[in-house]
Structure 1
Amino acid sequence: MFDFIVASENITYVVVEIVLMALVLLSIYWYRRPSKSPPGPRGIPLLGVAPFVGKYMERTMAKWKKTYGSIISVRLGRHDMVVLNDLESINQALVKQPTKFSGRALSSLFQEACNGDFGIGLLDYGPTWKSQRKFGLTTLRGFGVGKKSTESKVSEEITYLNEAIRSKHGKAFDISIILEKAVANNICRVIFGKRYDYDDKVFEKALHMLLTEFNDEAIALTTRVLFLAPWLRRVPPISSICARYIDNISIVVKFLQSLIDEHEQTFDKESLRDFIDCFLKEMKKGEDKSFTINQLIHYIRELFLAGTDTSTSTLNWALLCFLHYPEAQRKLRQEVFYVIGSSGAASMSHKSSMPYTSAFIQELMRYRTLSPLSVLHKANEDAELNGYVISKNTIVAPNIWAVHNDPEHWEEPEKFKPERFINEKGEFVPSSHVIPFSVGPRHCLGEQLARMEVFLFLVSMVQKFEFLPDPEAKELPDIDNGVSALVFVPYPYRLVANEI
């Protein structure tokens, strides 16, 4: 009996020693850094800094800049991520070394949902991306994106937008749904060759499902969790959220497939009507195997998504600023009336004569950064950045929020002040420190269209309506916080639009 007890104790000691040794080895592995890697917090084993970054990761990363410098390295789950916290380091990586820092880091959930084809924004860097990017730029330019022909179509959509706002008869309502449909129709004209009525139920359902991908906090949180622990993919409630995400994408895919089917039935290579026709022409040539139906589906899905949500969210933040800063709305309207009048049609040619409006839009894009950590990049090869070594496949996050809120560059960055971009002569001063569309070869493909939409829609709305808070609301809608998903968007709010 005594011998048995002694043997049991010995076994216990051995198990304890093994566990302790394993913990020591785990700690050594976890906190060890590659030679010349950037400094930064490692967090705790298995989770890294995930428990410490909070809801707005970009803001926490910017705070860590004070301790570790502009370029920091953090551990998130099994991955190392390098965060670039100022404009200089972002330019050094994305502009001056584009081939080394233009890769993409993809979640397993997204890969499953898209069946291996990633449109354009999430394609990894390489020949396929170059081919698809070149096609996209050429085709969008060919259909007038950023040119006068597109401007006339945006202006036409403004008529429908204003009529939809007018139909609310001065009662409080959520304007985001109307804005979504108006903005979406601009990209629909380019991609599908047509626009949709605002009461079209199929269009409305597809649009809702599409934007859920950008605006759903549960999906955004799930994506982060799976980034840390992919094995949780089959565990409730994460499994049900993943299923909903995939179902949403499948609904959008069916909608887009039906449009492609229509185009194939009426396709004429001598008369190309829109983006889909141009893609089908390349596909039928058979010279580039990356042109497939599935690739087309996710390409137009991305263009539709990014082309709708970014401009819609920017306009939503603008109207929210009107509620919080009525003096800014008054100044903007005063300038609109002075340059265009109360009934004239807004044109991009007016922009150079409207310094306050230009300053308002630039400050808006700085003040409420839509894509705080941009779309995550990946190092395609070992690279050097300001003396640090960034290993191949390391995730790289350009912290655009940190650039837009850098106290070393901006006075009182937390405040909304369009006047910071007006000089003593009353002229608008563009700033290279405002980079809402990112920089380098992977900057937003639809930047020109987005800038045109925001200017024309904003000017036209403020010309026709005065936007006021919901009189039944006890306080103004939250302007400091929002839905932190793939895009930073305001929480739902209601306003009143009184016709002028």
Structure 2
Amino acid sequence: MSMLVNLITNFDMSIVLTASCAFVLVFYYWYKRPKNFPSGPRGIPLLGVVPFLSKHTEKDFRKWSKKYGPMMSVRLGQNDWIVLGDHKTINECLVKGGNSFSGRPDHPVFKQFTKNHGVAMVDYGDHWKVQRRFGLTTLRGFGVGKRSMEDRIVEEIEYLNNAIRSHNGKPFNISKLFANAVSNNISSIVMGERMDYSDKIFETLTQRTTESDMAGKIIRFSIFVPSLWNLLLLFSTQASKQTSVFNSIREAIVNWVSQHKSTYDEHNVRDFIDAFIGEQKKETDVSFTDLQLIQYVRDLYVAGTETTTVTLRWAVRCLIHYPEKQNKLRKEIFDVIGREKTPSMKDKAQMPYTCAFMQELFRFRTLVPLGVPHKISNDVQVEGWSIPKGTWLLCNLWAVHNDPDVWDEPSKFKPERHLDEKGNFVQSKHVIPFSVGPRHCLGEQLARMEIFIFLVSMVQKFEFLPDPNEPRLSEVPQGVAGMMCVPHPFKQIVKEV
């Protein structure tokens, strides 16, 4: 009997010892870092720091960077990400480091939506270089950065202003109208024509620019823990909705491409799609495929619409909450171009407060707080650290825009901070909403042109007032917590001036 007890006791001890060893090994490998790798929070096995992230991840990262430094490693899910937390470090990596920091993660969520095509999420390499060069050349050819594009935007503003007037001074949500107007600027380049505001594709784009908090959490969680994406598709209606929206947009693009192919004339290149088809017919580069064209157009259409639409929504939110700044903006507009003259980009140099208002808007509500994820393309030595090839990286643009060592009272909206003592506008290298380096936003020129002309035209014609039924008017809310900083839905009253 005693022998049996001893056997059981010894067996129990061996189980405990084995379990203890396994536990120690798990934690050893979990907390192990590559040699000379930046330090940072590790969290718990499998999930890393994800369970400890708050609604605004960018704020958590800045808090940790105060302890670990402006270049730190953060275990998100089962991957070590590098997070850059100040302007100096971001510039050192993305600008000076250039090509080494220009990759894109081989991420299952990105792969599902892009099929490794397009330009925004394609990894750095020959394919991306060819397509990026084609995009820049073609966009310039169809007027981006030129007077011809400016004329298209001015033409669209008339449709937008008339749509605003149709609400007759009653409260309404302006986000759909912005999405319609901005999409039409993209449409004029991509497919050579604008669409009516009642077109069904606009309904889909509006959904993309009015995310809920839950949708934002789903997107962020799937980026940080990619292994759970398939489970989210099965059990999350928000994840399924995102997939459905992307599929709807893709279906519309497939139809556009099909129509262009049937009417293509090499002597009359009408738009971006025609230009791409022309490259296909030359057969000089195998990367010009139908799948590449569909995804490229999707990148231009969705990204170009979302970023500018959301920025304009934040602009209206600030006009409503800071009426004294709206009045100051309108006074400058009247002084420079009057009440009736159509705004032009050439007027911008004479409008320092308008430029300051826009720059503060970019800073105050960072559109993509953590930027678009990057990947290290080769082993690098930077800031005294060794970072291996394939490491994923995030840039905390929000932290740059809210650095208390650069900005006085960064949480406040103060356009005046961008003016010198003589009232001249001061361009700041610390405001980088479109990121920096080789992967900076392809549509930056178009976006800046749209925001200037739309903002000036609307403030010239209308006064933006709060919805009297909205009780919370003391401050501009932080917005939805996702990969993009999107305003919560709101209504306003618009009166002609």
Could you state the TM-score of these two structures normalised by the residue count of structure 2? 0.96
Residues 194-227 of structure 1 deviation map (CA, whole Å, 9 limit, x = unaligned): 0011122x23234245547xx3544443344344
Q: Counterpart in 1 of 2:93?
A: 93
2:18 aligned with 1:22? no
- Deviation per CA, 1:42-78: give whole Å up to 9, x if none: 1122221112221211111112222111111111111
Where does residue 250 of structure 1 map in the other structure? 247
The residue aligned with 1:136 is 135
- Partner Cα distance (2:73, 2:34) in 1: 11
Deviation larger for 59-68 or 185-194: 59-68
| Offset of residue 498 of structure 1 | 0.7
Tell me by how many angstroms 1:232 deviates. Answer: 5.7
Question: Letter of the aligned partner of 2:426 in structure 1?
Answer: V
Shift of 1:110: 3.0
Number of the residue aligned with 1:8: 8
Question: How many angstroms apart in 1 are the aligned matches of 2:263 and 2:396?
Answer: 45
Map 1:414-429; keep pairs closer than 5 Å.
414-429=411-426
Q: Which residue of 2 aligns with 1:195?
A: 194
Stretch of structure 1 that moved more, 124-133 or 380-389: 380-389
Structure 1 CA distance for aligned equivalents of residues 124 and 229 of structure 2 = 28
Cα distance change of structure 1 residues 224 and 2 upon mapping to structure 2, 3 Å threshold: farther
- Superposed CA deviations along residues 250-292 of structure 1, whole A, max 9, x for unmatched, are 2111100100011000001121000000111111222211111
Q: Is the 8 A contact 1:39 1:68 kept in 2?
A: yes
What's the RMSD between the two structures over aligned residues? 1.7
Residue 159 of structure 1: aligned partner: 158
1:241 positional shift: 4.1
Contact 2:94–2:102, Cα closer than 8 Å, also in 1: yes
AA partner of residue 221 (structure 1): K
Render the CA deviation track for 1:139-180: whole Å, top value 9, x for unaligned.
000001011000000000000000000000000000111111
Contact 1:222-1:238 at 8 Å conserved across structures: no
SS of alignment partner, residue 244 of structure 1: helix
How far apart are residue 90 of structure 1 and its match?
Answer: 0.7
**Superposition pairs for residues 282-321 of structure 1, below 5 Å?**
282-321=279-318
For residues 197 and 229 of structure 1, the distance between their equivalents in structure 2, rounded to whole angstroms, comes to 38
1:350-499 map, 5 Å = 350-476=347-473, 479-499=476-496
Aligned pairs, how many? 496
Distance change >3 Å, CA 89–CA 235, structure 1 → 2 = closer
Identity in percent: 49
Per the alignment, in what secondary structure is the counterpart of residue 100 of structure 1? helix
Whether the 8 Å contact between 1:55 and 1:484 is mirrored in structure 2 is: yes
Q: Which residue of 1 aligns with 2:54?
A: 54
Please list every run of 5 or more consecutive structure 1 residues that lacks an aligned counterpart in the other structure.
none
Q: What secondary structure sits across from 2:74 in the alignment? A: strand
Residues 457-483 of structure 1, C-alpha deviations (whole Å, 9 max, x = no match): 000000111001001222228623111
Query: Does the Cα contact within 8 Å between 1:211 and 1:305 map onto a contact in 2?
Result: no
Shift of 1:105: 1.3
Structure 1 length-normalised TM: 0.96
> Letter of the aligned partner of 1:323 in structure 2?
I
* CA deviation after TM superposition for structure 1 residue 87, in Å: 0.9
Measure the CA separation in 1 of the matches of 2:250 and 2:226: 28
In the TM superposition, what is the alpha-carbon distance from 1:88 to its structure 2 partner? 0.9
User: For 2:207 and 2:297, how far apart are their aligned partners in 1?
Assistant: 15
| Distance in 2 of aligned mates of 1:236 and 1:8 | 47
The one-letter code of the counterpart of 1:91 is N
Residue number in structure 1 paired with 2:177: 178
Q: CA 1:67–1:54 in 2, change beyond 3 Å: closer, same or farther?
A: same
- C-alpha distance in structure 2 between counterparts of 1:271 and 1:366, whole Å: 42
| Separation of aligned partners in 1, 2:228 and 2:58 | 26
| Contact 2:369–2:483 (CA under 8 A) maintained in structure 1 | no
Conserved 8 A contact 1:233-1:242: no
8 Å contact from structure 2 (residues 212, 488) kept in 1: no
Conserved? CA contact 1:481–1:490, under 8 Å: yes
Structure 1 CA distance for aligned equivalents of residues 363 and 482 of structure 2: 18
Deviation at 1:245, TM superposition (A): 2.7
1:221 aligns with 217
Q: Mark the CA change 1:272 to 1:236 in structure 2 (over 3 Å): closer, same or farther.
A: closer
Matches of 2:208 and 2:117 in 1, distance apart? Answer: 15
Structure 2: state its 5+ residue gaps.
Answer: none
Are 1:344 and 2:309 matched, yes or no? no
CA contact (8 A) 2:109 2:229 kept: no
